[in-house]
């Protein structure tokens, strides 16, 4: 784990289900290297308690990340971050990514961001994530 403890944030009023928010936020920490192989995560109950959500919500998020190969689930003892080599991207994955970025860019453009701003943000995000991946 990096020096500062990563803090997971979810918005209970957001339209995105909480378990999806947990998966997205944790995947970001994993890819960026803020969570590294060997790190022990809080148990399902502990995390549910802090977030004020049902433990099934957190269990579902952990299960999805475990299926992706990021976590090893340990009964009553939380979860451990695993070493996960990046898989070869499939054509479907590339197409799906392109579609989601397109949606996001359209949303941002509708919100007033111009091309240059978008370019700068995308570049910064990609660099940060790739730095973390290189460290791993």
Is residue 31 within 8 A of residue 132, CB to CB? The reply is yes
Is residue 43 within 8 A of residue 76, CB to CB? The reply is yes
CB of 69 to other proteins, least distance (A): 18
Rg (the chain; Cα; Å): 16
> Which DSSP state fits 37?
T
Pairing between β-strand 79-81 and β-strand 40-41 as defined by DSSP bridges: antiparallel
Residue from 20, 42, 82, 113 binding other proteins (CB under 8 A): 42
Residues of this chain, 14-33, that bind other proteins according to CB under 8 A: 14, 26, 29
Residues of this chain, 80-119, that bind other proteins according to CB under 8 A: none
For residue 10 the two structure tokens come to 């979810």
1 binds other proteins (CB under 8 A): yes
CA atoms of 131 and 33, how far apart (whole Å): 8
CB of 29 to other proteins, least distance (A): 7
CB of 10 to other proteins, least distance (A): 6
Decide whether 8 or 108 has the Cβ nearer to other proteins.
8
Which segment (49-57, 106-114, 117-125, 127-135) binds other proteins by CB under 8 A? Answer: 49-57
CA atoms of 84 and 95, how far apart (whole Å): 22
Binding site for other proteins (CB under 8 A): 1, 5-14, 26, 29, 35, 39-43, 45-55, 78
């Amino acid at each position: 784990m990096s020096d500062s403890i990563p803090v997971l944030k979810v918005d209970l009023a957001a339209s995105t289900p909480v378990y999806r928010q947990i998966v997205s936020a944790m995947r970001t920490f994993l890819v960026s290297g803020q969570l590294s192989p060997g790190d022990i995560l809080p148990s399902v109950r502990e995390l549910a308690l802090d977030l004020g959500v049902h433990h099934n919500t957190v269990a579902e998020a952990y299960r999805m990340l475990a299926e992706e190969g990021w976590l090893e689930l340990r009964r009553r003892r939380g979860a451990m971050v695993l070493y996960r080599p990046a898989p070869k991207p499939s054509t479907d994955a590339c197409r799906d990514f392109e579609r989601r970025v397109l949606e996001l860019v359209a949303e941002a453009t509708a919100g007033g961001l111009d091309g240059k701003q978008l370019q700068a943000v995308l570049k910064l995000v990609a660099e940060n994530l790739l730095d973390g991946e290189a460290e791993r």
